[in-house]
Structure 1
């Protein structure tokens, strides 16, 4: 196997280890042999501080990062130009990109759901458990953008809280650091044989404070900063669950905080999803003292995000324009016109949703949905007389096509 070129290596202090003693908490739940294997000393990671890290980056890697950065900026500008900054569909477009990013981030953790099930979960319809869990990731991403003006320990905890309040069995852990040792890999009874043993929980507050200080620096290329901050966060592993999804929400928060993107969410997780093995390997290499692979992964993911995201925006705008054409002749003050831009971000809806988001009365909301159905913009999908749901099949087709594109890229 060829070795990596030295000009792609970005030196960073690797993790060290410290030794603790372990005794299985519930030995009666395991075999005697497993209890024996998992009793005794184990090594936990100690993260190296990154606050004062001095990046030594080759010209080739810098050029790669700069190219990816330009493409992200161009994507953000394109999304705004296609709609116009005052267009009421710009907010919903950000919402659908955010939901797309959340779905991809969740899929990295083997949590899969369809665009339709996710949209139904947003209006309290449907019964897919994964969709409800992924909605938590959407809330975490929303918190990441909302709190991006000041990335802090509190904002990170808020992202995690928004995520885990929607994950059954973890509500009590939402927004709280873990209070026990965690690990990844074999060994249910203990960490002695695990592939990754996170830092001892007592080290979490100090490590997060160092990470926040690093994020506040203004002298590092943004994509390098995003990649390294994300890798460091995953190494700290501060929560009992949801670390990957929170860490990718943090990446979105940094991109917005640094002004790299302003109007939209960037579907970077879709780019990482293309080759998850390489992504996880890059995190491992980071811990051994080389930030090069994780920086390259984020640069590659950014280019994929910009290219696929641009097509997604264009296809969604085309659906919006087609729907607008179908509504020609409809009274200009009809409530259906207010509903139209909202469909970009929420292609499945009911009267309750319109009442809460647009402040419409129940009968006005119903008339608007019926008018859109009469014009062929929406399809009533339940056939019920009560609890009716309408959906925009064209937008769902676009979102399903986007997901299929990412699947094909990952299968190569």
Structure 2
């Protein structure tokens, strides 16, 4: 029997679950604080942000069933997507970058912004591309193992309710009061003025439950997590990428989301899972930044000239790149860059494709391994 629909926000909880969550929340926020401090002191903090964003794009689309690796995406970011799966990942990266720019420029979480990002996700012949890219669905959809509604595990709200539900979600997401966000006295709630991390968790689950688009809801919902973290200044850097942790427990993730739906929602499994995934994400990114930093500093010690140092650090922006690309990035003459790259290959810091005759790519494999490790 399929679960149907979802209640509007806010989220009602029993006192015992609420106390347990807030205790866990304090621990997770402490770990997130460490992540901010480490990023601040990292020698490669700005370049690593883009790579972590690429990794998020890979991991989020893997939840939807793609098999693209981080290494393949580093290749395709240099030479262009070779198939729809790579296009889907690159679309995700473009959408998340566009979203970050909008939020930094003062935008709020809005239907207009989400539609704009959805259009990017659905563009260029990626999976699920339809004429409705950037438009809310006009028909009933459902989540299930096949295309038969009688086998559905969840049937979202009807299309004519989407606008009303999204208004409710927008006010909640932006931390603003609204007549629809009403509460009964004497109960525990997570509402528009609650802690940012819990609100982010609620917004993601609610968006997935509304399921406003025909396709791409999962991907856009995970982008929404990262955008809200930037808007709420949860971290000083845009690295709140939790998809890798959710992908490791995909079935638990889907089960927890389904539990918040219907007439008798249970939010505790999802909120607990989200807090655990957020903490694990912070620990994992801390490890990646530490290892990348160590790798960068080791390389700098081997470099003899400023050009070599500049070229070496530029491979932390582009771990698969040609001399021409790195010349544009560093401002050094292509011949100087080529000479520096050859020196770094000689010192076993980089590898090059010896079979290529022109536009020879150079690889910072140790960095690729650091970023893609889980």
Structure-2 residue corresponding to 1:317: 293
Instruction: Give the whole-Å Cα distance in 2 for the aligned partners of 1:175 and 1:382.
Output: 44
* 2:283 corresponding residue in structure 1: 307
Task: Describe how 1:245-324 pairs up with structure 2 within 5 A.
Answer: 245-288=219-262, 289-324=265-300
Q: Is the CA contact (8 Å cut-off) linking 2:118 and 2:220 kept in structure 1?
A: yes
Q: Which one of 192, 196, 205 corresponds to residue 163 of structure 2?
A: 205
> Contact conserved, 1:186 with 1:193, CA < 8 A, in 2?
yes
CA contact (8 A) 2:296 2:313 kept: yes
Report if aligned partners of 2:226, 2:238 keep a CA contact under 8 Å in 1.
no
Alpha-carbon distance in structure 2 between the residues aligned to 1:394 and 1:374: 15
**Residue number in structure 2 paired with 1:145:** 100
- Structure 1 position 356, deviation (Å): 5.7
SS of the residue 2:369 aligns to: helix
Distance 1:214 1:347 in 2: 40
Equivalent position SS for 2:355: coil
1:373 corresponds to 2:345: yes
Superposed, 1:111-122 pairs within 5 Å as 111-122=66-77
**CA displacement at 1:223 relative to structure 2:** 1.5
Alignment match, 1:101 = 56
Matches within 5 A, 1:389-404: 389-400=361-372, 402-403=373-374
Residue 216, structure 1, aligned to residue 174, structure 2: yes
Structure 2-normalised TM-score? 0.84
Structure 2 Cα separation of the partners of residues 143 and 390 of structure 1: 28
Shift of 1:337: 3.5
Q: Which has the larger radius of gyration?
A: 1
Alignment partner, residue 134 of structure 1: 89
Residues 240-282 of structure 1: CA distance to partner in whole angstroms, max 9, x if unpaired? 2111111011001111111111114123112212211111111
The alpha-carbon deviation at position 157 of structure 1 amounts to 1.8
Structure 1 pair 168–274 and aligned structure 2 pair: CA distance change class (3 A): closer
List per-residue Cα deviations over 1:100-119 (Å, max 9, x = no partner): 22222122112122221010
Q: Secondary structure at the match of 1:147?
A: helix
TM-score by length of 1: 0.77
Question: Is residue 101–residue 265 contact of structure 1 (8 Å, CA) maintained in 2?
Answer: no
Q: Using the alignment, how far apart are the partners of 1:297 and 1:63 within structure 2?
A: 14
Supply the distance in 2 between the matched residues of 1:378 and 1:162 (Cα, whole angstroms).
34
For the 8 Å contact 1:139–1:162, the answer to whether it is kept is yes
Aligned to 1:78: 38
Change (3 A) 1:241 1:353: farther
In structure 2, distance between residues paired with 1:146 and 1:120: 25
Q: Output the CA distance in 1 between the equivalents of 2:169 and 2:113.
A: 13
The question of whether the paired residues in 1 share the 8 Å contact of 2:52 and 2:371 is answered with: no
CA drift at 1:374: 4.4
| Deviation at residue 297 of structure 1 after TM alignment | 1.0
In structure 2, C-alpha distance between the alignment counterparts of 1:294 and 1:362, rounded to whole Å: 52
For residue 283 of structure 1, report the CA deviation from its aligned partner: 0.6
Structure 2 vs 1, CA of residues 304 and 377 (structure 1 numbering), >3 Å: closer, same or farther? same
Quick one: structure 1 residues 213 and 375, their matched pair in 2 at CA, closer, same or farther if it must change by over 3 Å? Answer: same
Q: Deviations over 1:347-384 (max 9, x none)?
A: 11124533665566655654554454344332212522
- Going from structure 1 to structure 2, the CA distance change for 1:203 and 1:355 (only over 3 Å counts) comes to farther
Structure 1 stretch 169-178 or stretch 391-400: which is displaced more? 169-178
Among 68, 72, 79, which residue is 2:28 paired with? 68
Report the equivalent of 2:186. none
Unaligned residue ranges in structure 1 (runs of 5+)? 1-41, 84-88, 404-412
| Compared CA separation, residues 43 and 320, structure 1 to 2 (3 A) | closer
**Corresponding residue for residue 185 of structure 1:** 144
> Is contact 1:45–1:200 with CA below 8 Å preserved after alignment?
no
Q: Count the aligned residue pairs.
A: 350
